[in-house]
């Protein structure tokens, strides 16, 4: 018989927190937990609990970096750590914006001319150690802490895993 263990409880709490945040702001968005569980994307393990920040608390996570998201209408932000094949560590940030325009604004403002366009979500860009994409009102940023061979492909695979849950 399957049990609803501590890990499941945490996931449930996170999902409820995200839903509550969105509900409190009056947005009509589907309730999602965008973070793939360990093994859902080949080689990737979810190594930390998901933390969720309402817009008013985003400073606790990125402090001065929060302003651009607030100006673009962020509603809530979820973040979790991952590890690929036991070595490459990465962090996944999912920003739920008020609308698709907000997500587009952030993605466009963060692009440089050496960004590589990738087919993830509605639009996406990649660098050697990071992938950023938007899908509807969601802006997703995945960053690896080290540059290793194959890191970008691994990040793109994880990005697809997140995209599928949005």
Partner 1 sequence: MKSRREFLKEAATGVVLLGSSAAADRLTLAGVLKDHAAVGKSKVVIARDASLHGAGTQPDEQHVLNLLDEAMSAYTGREKPMEAWKSVIPKNILAGGVIGLKVNGLGGRGISTHAALTMAVAERLQQAGVHAGNIVVWDRNERDLAACGMAISTDPSRVRCYGNDAGGFDDEPVSWGTANIRLAKILTRECAMVINLPILKDHEAAGITFSMKNMYGVVDKPFTLHANHCNPGVADLNCVPAVRGKVSFTIGDAISSVYDGGPGFHPERLWYPNALVVGEDRVALDYTAWQMIEQKRAEVGMPTLEEAGRAPKYIATAADSAHQLGTCDPNRIKLVEV
Return residues touching partner 1 (CB under 8 A): 59, 62-68, 89, 91, 110, 112, 114-115, 127-130, 143-147
CA distance 127 to 2: 41
Output 39 or 65, the one with its CB closest to partner 1. 65
Closest C-alpha among 47, 70, 136, 64 to residue 100: 136
Q: How far is the CB of 146 from partner 1 (least distance, A)?
A: 6
Output 22 or 151, the one with its CB closest to partner 1. 151
CA distance 118 to 76: 25
Output 69 or 138, the one with its CB closest to partner 1. 69
Q: How far is the CB of 102 from partner 1 (least distance, A)?
A: 16
Q: How far is the CB of 142 from partner 1 (least distance, A)?
A: 11
CA distance 23 to 2: 31
**Is residue 31 within 8 Å of 18, Cβ to Cβ?**
yes
């Amino acid at each position: 018989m399957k049990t609803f263990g501590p890990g499941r409880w945490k996931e449930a709490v996170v999902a409820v927190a995200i839903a509550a945040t969105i509900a409190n702001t009056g947005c009509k968005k589907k309730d999602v937990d965008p973070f793939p569980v360990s093994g859902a994307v080949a080689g990737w393990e979810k190594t930390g609990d998901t933390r969720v920040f309402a817009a008013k608390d985003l400073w606790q996570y990125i402090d001065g970096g929060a302003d651009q998201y607030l100006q673009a209408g962020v509603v809530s932000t979820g973040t979790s750590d991952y590890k690929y094949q036991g070595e490459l560590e990465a962090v996944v940030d999912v920003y739920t914006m008020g609308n698709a325009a907000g997500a587009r604004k952030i993605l466009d403002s963060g692009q440089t001319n050496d960004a590589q366009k990738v087919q993830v979500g509605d639009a996406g860009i990649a660098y050697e150690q990071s992938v950023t994409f938007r899908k509807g009102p969601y802006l997703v940023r995945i960053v690896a802490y080290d540059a290793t061979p194959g890191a970008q492909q691994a990040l793109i695979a994880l990005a697809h895993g997140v995209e599928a849950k949005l």
